[in-house]
Chain A
Amino acid sequence: MALSRLASSSSSSSSRSADLLKPLCSAISLRRPISTDTTPITVETSVPFTSHQCDTPSRSVQTNAKELLTFFRDMALMRRMEIAADSLYKAKLIRGFCHLYDGQEAVAVGMEAAITKKDCIITAYRDHCTFVARGGTLLEVFAELMGRQAGCSRGKGGSMHFYKKDSNFYGGHGIVGAQVPLGCGLAFAQKYSKDEAVTFALYGDGAANQGQLFEALNISALWDLPAILVCENNHYGMGTAEWRASKSPAYYKRGDYAPGLKVDGMDALAVKQACTFAKEHALKNGPIILEMDTYRYHGHSMSDPGSTYRTRDEITGVRQERDPVERIRKLILSHDLATEKELKDIEKEIRKEVDDAIAQAKENPLPESSELFTNVYAKGLGVEMSFH
C-alpha cells in the first residue's frame, strides 16, 4: 500500500512537504486504496500561529491521506456548489440575498475536522458551506436557495437561514453580529448541561465592531463559558476594507482579557490545529478568539461585483498563491496520495453531484400556501391546563 508514501510516525520530525516530492509511478498496476489510509502524515502549516495572551499550538499538524482527500473532496464540493449558486442567481432562480463562501472553504472544513457534532456552530449569513460541513445535503441547500419544500428550512428561511438541529448547526443569521450572543448562549447551555462540548460562534471582520460581541465576550469570560469566537477575517466588511472600519484590525487581540490566536484561514490544516487547540482551551479556561485570515473571491453578495473596492489583481493573486483547494491538491500530489487524474475524476464526480442536486431541486415544488402560517408558533399554542 505504502508504495511511494512518506509515513512519518514521529511527530517531532518536521519534514517540509517540498522535500517529499516523488515522481509518480504510473507503471505501477496496483490501485492504492488511498481514501481509507490513516497512516499519519505530518504537515507544516503555511505560517506560524500568532497568539495573544496564550501559547501557540505547534506548526506541525497530524493528518493522513484519508483526511486530506476528504478535505479536497469537501472543499471542491463547496467550491462547485457556490459557483453553481452564482449561476442560479444570475438565472433568477435564487432571489434576494446570496452570500457566497468560495475562497473561505478551509475554515469550514478545517473546523469540522477538529470537532464533533456535539459541538455547536453558529455563523452569519455566509452559511452555505458551513451547513454542508455539518452534514447538510446539496439538495437541502439548493432547494432552500430556490425556496422549495425540500429546503433545510422548508423554503421559509432562504440563503441566510440554513439550520441543522441534529448536527448542532444553529444557522444562518442575517443581522450582523446578532449570532454571537446567541452563540454564547449555546455555550452557556452546554456548560449548564455539562455537555463537555464547545460552541464556535463565527462572525466577520465587519461584525467585529458590533458592541454586542464585546458584551457577549465579557459575559462568557465572567461565567467561564466554552465559547470560541471565530472572526472570519476576509478583510472587507461588504465594501469597506478592514483598515477603514477598525481602528485595530488585529481582531485576535481585541478580546483584551480573552486570549486569541491568528490563523491562516486558507490552510485547512492550520484551521484544524487551531480549532483543536481552541476547543481544549475553551473547555478548561473559558472563551478564546480565533482570527481566520481568509479571503472571499466573490463580492459581499451577488449584488456586489466585488471589484469596486479591491483590484482584480488582488483577487487573482490570492487565488494563485493561497487558494485552499489548490493547497490541498498540491499536498496530496506531493505526498503521492492520489494522481492528478484521480483528483480530476473526483472533481468531475462532484460536478455531476452538484448538477444532479440542482436538477432535483428544480423539480421540487414550492411550498403550499398553508405553509405561510405554519411554524409561527410551536404547536400547541398556549399551555395545556393541567386539571387534577
Chain B
Amino acid sequence: MAAMFQGVGAAAALSSLHSNSFDSKNFLFSPRRSFSVRKAPSFVVVRSDGTMNLDLNPEGRRAQQFIANAVATKEDISAASSSKPGHELLLFEALREGLEEEMERDPRVCVMGEDVGHYGGSYKVTKGLATKFGDLRVLDTPIAENSFTGMGIGAAMTGLRPVVEGMNMGFLLLAFNQISNNCGMLHYTSGGQFTIPIVIRGPGGVGRQLGAEHSQRLESYLLPIPGIQMVACSTPYNAKGLMKAAIRSENPVILFEHVLLYNLKERIPDEDYICNLEEAEMVRPGEHVTILTYSRMRYHVMQAAKTLVNKGYDPEVIDIRSLKPFDLYTIGNSVKKTHRVLIVEECMRTGGIGASLTAAITENFHDYLDAPIICLSSQDVPTPYAGTLEEWTVVQPAQIVAAVEQLCQ
C-alpha cells in the first residue's frame, strides 16, 4: 500500500521550504513541512508527488500571514527567517541527534535500556552513542524492565537525568508500579523534596502485524498517572525538539514514539531548537472542522484531508503532541472557530486519550460546539495478526472522511 497524499497550504509566502522524500520501501508517510519560525513548526504541506513545487490553494483561502502556533511564539511570525537550509534526516536519526546533543550538553544525561549500547538500539535511536560516551553513560540492561526503570528513577532522584528506553512501550507494563508510584508520585509524596527528571521513551503503537502484545498503546494506560507528562512525536522535527525538551524538563516525561514512523524523512534546522512540551502543533489550518490527532494517525488524517479538500471541505488538523496535559489553549481556539470536533487516535476507544479529550473539550467548550464530538479510535480488541484484521483495528482514512461528512451535515 504505497499511499501518497497531498494537501494544500499557502505557504508560498513564507520563506523556508523544506523537502521530503517518500520512502516507498517502508510504507511511511513523508510529510512536507514548512515553517516560518525556525523554532516553531507551522503546518504540513503534503505533496502528492515528490516535486518541490507548492500548490497554492486556488481559492487563496489562507492569508499570507500564518499563525504558526496558536500558542504563539509571538515573535518572528511575520519575519521571513531565511535560516540555513538545514539538514535532512530520518526520524530515528532526529531522535538520536537530540539525544546526542543533550548528552554533550549535560554530563548528567545517560541512557539505559535493552540493547541500547553495543547493539546500537533496536531501532537505531542510540546507534554510536555507546562508542562516543562510554559504557557508563549508555547502559545495556538485562531484560528487567521493572528494576531498570526503578533504577532510572532512583538515579533521577539524586539529580542524574536518565533516559530509559523501553524496547517496546508495551514492555514497560512490567514497570507500571515504578512509573506510577515512584516516577509520578515521588515529587508529591516527598513534599517537593525530590524531582524526577527522567525521560521514559520507546516505540509503541500498531505496527506491521507484530501481534497483540507488541502493538500496545500505553498512552491510555499511563494517562491518569499524576505527576508525569506525556508527549507523542510524529515528525523528525518534533521528535528531536521533544526529545531535547523532555531531557531538559525537571518533570518526568514519557515520550511516545511509533514503530512505523521511524523512517520518516524531513529537513530540520541545523541550529539548536526545542519544542514546547505542552504545545499542540497546527498541521493544517482550516475553517470547517477541527481534527485532533497525534502520532501515526496524523498521517491517516492528512491523507483523509486530501480527499476532504477535494470534496470541498476545509479541515483544521491539529497534532495535539502533548498527551498530558492537553493543550486546551490551541484546541480551544480551534473549537471556537470551527465548532466541530473530530478526534482520531490509535489507542483503544475505552479509556483512551480521545475519551479524556472528549470530556475535556465538552467540559470547557460546550457552548462552542455545534455537533457532538466524534471520536475515532482503534477497536477494543487485542491487535490481531492477520493483515486485513489489523487494518480494521485502526482508524483508516475512509472512516475519517465519513466522520467529517457526518459532522458537517
Q: A residues within 8 Å of B by Cβ?
A: 120, 122, 151-158, 161, 163-165, 170-175, 178, 180-186, 188-193, 211-212, 215-216, 218-219, 222-223, 374-383, 385-388
Known: A170-B154, A188-B154. A161 touches B190 (CB 8 A): yes
**Residues of B341-393 contacting chain A, CB below 8 A:** none
The answer to whether B153 touches A185 (Cβ under 8 A) is: yes
Chain B contacts of A211 at CB under 8 A? 146
Nearest residue (CB) in B for A225 is B151
Q: A181-B146, A215-B142, A381-B278 are in contact. Are A165 and B151 (CB under 8 A)?
A: no
**12 sampled A-B residue pairs with Cβ under 8 A:** A153-B189, A156-B188, A157-B191, A163-B193, A182-B178, A184-B151, A185-B153, A191-B136, A212-B147, A375-B188, A375-B191, A378-B197
Contact (Cβ within 8 A) B276 A374: no
* Cβ contact of B190, chosen from A172, A182, A374, cutoff 8 A: A172
Stretch from B25-33, B59-67, B156-164, B165-173 forming part of the interface with A? B156-164
B149 interfacial contact with A, CB 8 Å: yes
Is B195 interfacial (CB-CB < 8 Å)? yes
Residues of chain A contacted by B177 (CB below 8 angstroms): 175, 178
B residues near A164, Cβ cutoff 8 Å: 193
Asked whether A185 lies within 8 Å of B187 as measured between CB atoms, the reply is no
Select one of B75, B152, B246 contacting A185, CB under 8 A.
B152
A377-B227 in contact given A188-B154, A189-B155, A219-B148 (Cβ < 8 Å): yes
From A152, A377, A385, B191 is in contact (CB under 8 Å) with A152
Contacts of A388 in B (CB 8 A): 272
If the complex has contacts A212-B150, A215-B142, are A186 and B158 also in contact, measured as CB distance less than 8 A?
yes
With A170-B154, A189-B158, A378-B187 already in contact, the answer to whether A181 and B178 are too (CB < 8 A) is: yes
**Residues of B with C-beta under 8 A to A180:** 147, 150
Complex alpha-carbon distance, A387 and B325, angstroms: 23
Contact A181 B278 (CB under 8 A): no
Does A174 contact B181, Cβ atoms closer than 8 Å? Answer: yes
B39 touches A385 (CB 8 A): yes
Contact of A188 among B144, B151, B186, B227 (CB under 8 A): B151
Question: Which chain A residues border B144 with CB–CB below 8 Å?
Answer: 212, 215-216, 218-219
Are A386 and B191 closer than 8 Å at their CB atoms? no
The residue from A178, A383, A387 contacting B150, defined by CB atoms under 8 A apart:
A178
Residues in A neighbouring B194, C-beta threshold 8 A: 163, 165, 170
* List of 7 A-B pairs having minimum Cβ-Cβ separation, nearest first: A185-B154, A181-B150, A215-B147, A185-B151, A182-B154, A154-B191, A215-B144
Q: How far is the CB of A90 from chain B (nearest CB, A)?
A: 25
A149 to B, closest residue via Cβ? B191
Q: Are B142 and A185 in contact (CB under 8 A)?
A: no
C-alpha spacing A387/B249, complex, angstroms: 16
Any chain A CB within 8 A of the CB of B251? Answer: yes
CA distance in complex: A215, B114 (Å): 13
Residue of B nearest to A388 (CB): B272
Residues of A within 8 A of B325 (CB): 381
Chain B neighbourhood of A376, CB < 8 A: 187-188, 226-227
Which of the residues B147, B157, B192, B276 comes within 8 Å of A170, measured between beta carbons?
Answer: B157
- A73 to B187: give the CA distance in the assembly, Å: 33
Among residues of A, the one whose C-beta sits closest to the C-beta of B154 is A185
B200 to chain A, nearest CB (A): 13
Which residues does chain B contribute within 8 Å of A215, judged by CB atoms?
142, 144, 146-148
